[in-house]
A and B are shown apart, each in its own frame.
Chain A
Amino acid sequence: QKEVEQNSGPLSVPEGAIASLNCTYSDRGSQSFFWYRQYSGKSPELIMSIYSNGDKEDGRFTAQLNKASQYVSLLIRDSQPSDSATYLCAVNDEGDKIIFGKGTRLHILP
């Protein structure tokens, strides 16, 4: 059973600090990795895609991938209350299916 694991949280981070969200995956052949943000009552929206080892930065967001450790993370710098949401890690399984973790609830404390 291919799995994507995330800590469910809630992760509480003070406003202005760095929020660090982590994800591990079981399928060593996975090549594509994604982070989604989902606000309560809304559908998920894509934040970042990452395909190779290392860091990828987009504004306040940085995705980090380590295929050897089967680990992908998302850093949010200068956290804002509007960043409070559930963050979903998603990994492709070498086919057409993308497997989602159950998500980490992030709460930014004003």
Chain B
Amino acid sequence: GAVVSQHPSRVICKSGTSVKIECRSLDFQATTMFWYRQFPKQSLMLMATSNEGSKATYEQGVEKDKFLINHASLTLSTLTVTSAHPEDSSFYICSAVRDGNSPLHFGNGTRLTVT
């Protein structure tokens, strides 16, 4: 159990366009979902924490107007990278947690390349 599905796995887009990434918990209801970004050979960087029905909490330095997070239900969260630029090219990974003492379960990640 505890499967998290993330789509798309890979996307290439032109500079200035927007990209939506979807994250679903398939077999459990997630109280909280997290969005991470990881640059090559670097550590996971938490971008934001999202709870169903409420506004996401963004980490310091992450622009909330650029990275729009919608947590529509207990099984679905989306991240939209608006007006993407080449410096936004990265590996974006979502994760979901069932409750406070449970582990995070990660999606397979989305590799975004902005040309």
Contact = CB atoms under 8 A, between A and B. Distances in A.
B23 to A, nearest CB: 11
Contact of A32 (B31, B51, B103, B107): B103
B97 A98 contact: yes
Nearest to A51: B101
Contact of A95 (B34, B100, B104): B100
Interface in B75-115: 91, 93, 97, 100-109
Nearest to A102: B43
Given A32-B103, A43-B106, A46-B105, A96 B32 contact: yes
Interface string B26-49: 000001101000000001100001
A44 B106 contact: yes
Contacts of A34: 103-104
Given A97-B49, A100-B44, A42 B109 contact: yes
A92 interface: yes
B89 to A, nearest CB: 14
A74 interface: no
Interface residues of B, number: 20
A96 B101 contact: no
Contacts of A45: 106
Nearest to B92: A43
A41 B110 CA distance: 10
Contact of A98 (B93, B104, B107, B109): B104
A32 to B, nearest CB: 5
B49 to A, nearest CB: 7
B109 A103 contact: no
A96 B31 contact: yes
Interface of A: 31-32, 34, 36, 41-46, 49, 51, 88, 90, 92, 95-98, 100, 102-103
7 contacts: A43-B93, A43-B107, A44-B106, A46-B106, A88-B44, A96-B32, A98-B97
Q: Give the top 9 A-B pairs by smallest Cβ distance, nearest first.
A: A43-B109, A102-B43, A43-B106, A34-B103, A32-B101, A96-B32, A43-B93, A46-B103, A49-B103
